[in-house]
């Protein structure tokens, strides 16, 4: 293993000559970085077109008019370009880090990465490179660094920090390099030169392994590579179990770039569009027309397949500047999701009008988040009816309405909700944290928040039973991408799995490996298990 020093660049002390000169320096640096990112995108697209969309997002961030304007304003007040840029980036980064959704929170890492690239140009410091052979062990990597790793030299990557959605890890894997993230700071204490083995699919790390263990891991790596090739080759084909039941494998989206990546990956439309990406990091809400244009662009990128638009899902943990909210002691149990939407009627009604307008042009499902009571749902449907009347073209023929199941109370009342919806989508991330009283972002209790805990599995089963035969049940949380759980989810009655774009091919392949849609013995073993590890053991057998 090797551990190169990967450090952030701090803005240097600079002489301020004039605002015009400093502004020109910043614009030149941004232009240079844009060219670098476009080159990285082209290189990545050669072996992984879907993952190249990461750099599309970086280009959008680099040209964010609000970010650039904030830096230029600081320059006008006498702050040198490097410090002005660093301060503007830090402010945007802090806003994204405050977001609860782990997918959207990853935007903070992207903003930081782009910020560092520009800062290096301004400071005249060459781009950081990774030199060495073996297993790379670092605290974290910039996506630009991961995208150019040499697979002939780097056998694997271990990040002390990061998350499962880390773009650095995704880009490393796209180059055929296994990666483990969030390994903890202790991994950095291992001396360079020590033999380390890792399993990128399970996260297993073995220090100084014996020859037998190495042989086992090599065999598993070879088989995983074969499965990956097969999955990618059939990514654009539908996924059905051996006994003929089709399972939709859709994509979770947070941008138009994600939609393009999903199309490249063979996604069956989108099972979750996080529409809050349009509302975050801005002083005013998006106009109805802006929302319409964005939703249509996402649908177009997916070839007109159905997309599921989740209405605005924010709360006290990720407040919007144009929606004043009092501080809450526990925002996760406060005014969030549909609760906030019903309190901010103008904001909600504008979004519903945009969605209804789009639904007249392309298949749309609308999904309400954080629903707890039937009365909340009925009130939301009244607003939807009013939006349909306001648009003035009647009810769109293909419009479907559903709710997210995130609150245990909603899971237990699925049958009551079923009369008023077309589908259910289980958000296993929040359902897990609410069921097990373990906050997702709290590392002290993260081990408790296992979506395969028997209590969570029981609630998923309750939803599938309560939905009945005529209501689709989907899963859009991280559990949907866990290939070891695919058999169980299908056996419980889930008929759509919505995952990150890059996970579409392997999840489709996992579906094809299921022999029987119904598996009462497996369901019984998992429901009667006493712990998450017992459920996992039953799934491996």
Q: Is residue 440 part of an annotated ligand binding site?
A: yes
What's the 3-state SS for 455-520? HHHHHHHHHHHHHCCCCEEEECCHHHHCHHHHHHHHHHCCCEEEECHHHHHHHHHHHHCCCCCCCH
506 Cβ contact list (under 8 Å, min separation 6)? 227, 228, 231, 483
Q: Is residue 430 part of an annotated ligand binding site?
A: yes
H/E stretch holding 526: helix 520-528
Q: CB of 348 within 8 A of CB of 355?
A: no
- Listing DSSP states for 176-210 in one string gives T--EE----GGGGGSPTT--EEEETTTTEEEES--
Q: Is residue 429 part of an annotated ligand binding site?
A: yes
Q: Is residue 223 part of an annotated ligand binding site?
A: no
Q: Which residue has the tokens 């526990």?
A: 330
Catalytic residue among 112, 383, 464, 476: 476
Helix, strand or coil for residue 55?
helix
Q: Report how far residue 256's alpha carbon sits from residue 350's, in angstroms, rounded to the nearest whole number.
A: 20
Q: Can you list the alpha helix ranges (DSSP code H) found in 374-422?
A: 374-391, 408-412, 414-417
H/E stretch holding 104: helix 102-123
Catalytic residue among 58, 112, 167, 383: 167
Task: Confirm whether 526 is a catalytic residue.
Answer: no
H/E stretch holding 29: helix 19-47
Q: Report how far residue 250's alpha carbon sits from residue 270's, in angstroms, rounded to the nearest whole number.
A: 5
Phi-psi region of 486 (alpha: psi -120 to 50; beta: other; left: phi over 0): alpha
- Listing DSSP states for 148-173 in one string gives T--TTTEEEEEESS--TT-HHHHHHH
Q: CB of 456 within 8 A of CB of 431?
A: yes
Task: Confirm whether 476 is a catalytic residue.
Answer: yes
Helix, strand or coil for residue 308?
strand
From the annotation, which residues make up the binding site?
274, 310, 406, 429-430, 440
From the annotation, which residues make up the binding site for phosphoenolpyruvate?
274, 310, 429-430, 440
The catalytic residues are: 167, 476
From the annotation, which residues make up the binding site for Mg(2+)?
406, 430
């Amino acid at each position: 293993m090797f551990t190169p020093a990967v450090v952030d660049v701090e803005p240097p002390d600079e002489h301020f000559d004039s605002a015009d000169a400093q502004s020109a320096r910043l614009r030149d640096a941004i232009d240079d970085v844009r060219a670098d990112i476009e080159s990285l995108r082209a290189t990545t697209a050669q072996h992984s077109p879907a993952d190249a969309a990461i750099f599309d997002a970086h280009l959008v961030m680099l040209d964010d008019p609000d970010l650039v304007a904030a830096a230029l304003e600081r320059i006008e007040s006498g702050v040198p370009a490097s410090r002005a840029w660093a301060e503007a980036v830090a402010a945007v980064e802090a806003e994204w880090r405050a977001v609860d959704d782990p997918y959207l929170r990853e935007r903070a890492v992207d903003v930081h990465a782009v910020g560092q690239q520009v800062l290096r140009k301004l400071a005249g410091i060459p781009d950081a490179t990774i030199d060495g052979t073996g297993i790379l062990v670092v605290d974290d990597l910039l996506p630009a660094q991961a995208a150019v790793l040499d697979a002939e030299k780097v056998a694997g990557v271990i990040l002390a920090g990061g998350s499962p959605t880390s773009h650095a890890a995704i880009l490393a894997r796209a180059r055929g390099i296994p990666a483990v993230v969030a390994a903890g700071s202790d991994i950095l204490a291992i001396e360079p030169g020590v033999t380390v083995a890792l399993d990128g699919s399970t996260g297993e790390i073995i220090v100084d392994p014996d020859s037998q263990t190495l042989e086992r891991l090599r065999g598993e790596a070879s088989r995983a590579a074969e499965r990956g090739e097969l999955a990618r080759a059939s990514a654009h084909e539908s996924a059905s179990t051996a006994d003929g039941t089709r399972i939709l494998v859709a994509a979770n989206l947070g941008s138009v770039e994600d939609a393009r990546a999903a199309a490249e990956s063979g996604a069956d439309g989108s099972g979750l569009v996080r529409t809050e990406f349009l509302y975050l990091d801005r002083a005013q809400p998006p106009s109805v027309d802006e929302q319409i244009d964005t939703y249509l662009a996402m649908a177009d990128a997916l070839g007109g397949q159905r997309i599921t638009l989740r209405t605005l899902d924010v709360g006290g943990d990720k407040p919007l500047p144009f929606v004043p909210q009092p501080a809450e002691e526990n925002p996760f149990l406060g005014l969030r999701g549909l609760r906030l939407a019903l309190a901010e009627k103008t904001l909600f009604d504008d979004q519903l009008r945009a969605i209804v307008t789009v639904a007249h042009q392309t298949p749309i499902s609308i999904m309400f988040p954080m629903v707890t009571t039937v009365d909340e749902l009925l009130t939301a449907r009244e607003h939807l009816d009013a939006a349909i009347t306001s648009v003035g073209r009647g009810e769109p023929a293909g419009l479907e309405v559903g709710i997210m199941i995130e609150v245990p109370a909603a899971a237990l009342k699925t049958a009551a909700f079923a009369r008023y919806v077309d589908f259910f989508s289980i958000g296993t991330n929040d359902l897990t944290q609410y069921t097990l009283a373990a906050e997702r972002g709290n590392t002290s209790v993260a081990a408790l928040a296992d979506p395969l805990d028997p209590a969570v599995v029981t609630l998923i089963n309750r939803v599938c039973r309560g939905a009945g035969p005529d209501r689709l049940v989907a899963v859009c949380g991280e559990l949907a991408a866990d290939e070891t759980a695919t058999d169980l989810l299908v056996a419980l009655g889930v008929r759509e799995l919505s995952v990150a774009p890059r996970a579409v091919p392997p999840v489709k392949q996992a579906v094809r490996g299921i022999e029987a849609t119904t598996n009462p013995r497996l369901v019984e073993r998992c429901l009667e298990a006493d712990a998450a590890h017992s459920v996992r053991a039953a799934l491996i057998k």
